[in-house]
Amino acid sequence: MADTPYDYIVIGSGFGGSVAAMRLSEKGYRVLVLEKGKRWAASDFPKSNWNLRKFLWIPFLRCFGIMQMSFFKNCLY
């Protein structure tokens, strides 16, 4: 097999992927993390939860933040 610049490739930087990548890199392995999601800038995050438009993800209310809310998700009617 050809020599590659990485020892491990981690698909996804969610909680499990980011922890796995961190642990591998702490042990001295060369790690590549591939992520499909949006690239976040510091200005994308709300300074507090009072900035509802940047905090809550409720598109029908024109809120496109980082925290998704589902009203009555498991409610039977």
Tens digit of each residue's pLDDT, the chain (77 residues): 568 899 999 999 888 999 999 999 999 999 999 988 777 777 767 666 666 766 677 777 777 776 666 666 666 65
| C-beta of residue 46 within 8 angstroms of C-beta of residue 57 | no
pLDDT of residue 16: 94
- Tell me what percent of the residues of the chain surpass a pLDDT of 70: 66
- Per-residue model confidence as pLDDT tens digits over 33-43: 998 877 777 77
Scan for tokens 């020599």, then name that residue. 3
Contacts of 47 (CB under 8 A, 6+ apart): none
Host domain of residue 28: 1-35
- What value does the mean pLDDT of the chain take? 80
List the end-to-end C-alpha distance of the chain, in Å, as a whole number.
58
**Do 27 and 53 reside in the same domain of the chain?**
no
Q: What is the separation of C-alpha 16 from the centre of its chain, rounded to a whole number of angstroms?
A: 11
Domain presence at residue 42:
no
| C-beta of residue 29 within 8 angstroms of C-beta of residue 5 | no
**Do 27 and 4 reside in the same domain of the chain?**
yes
- State how many domains the chain has: 2
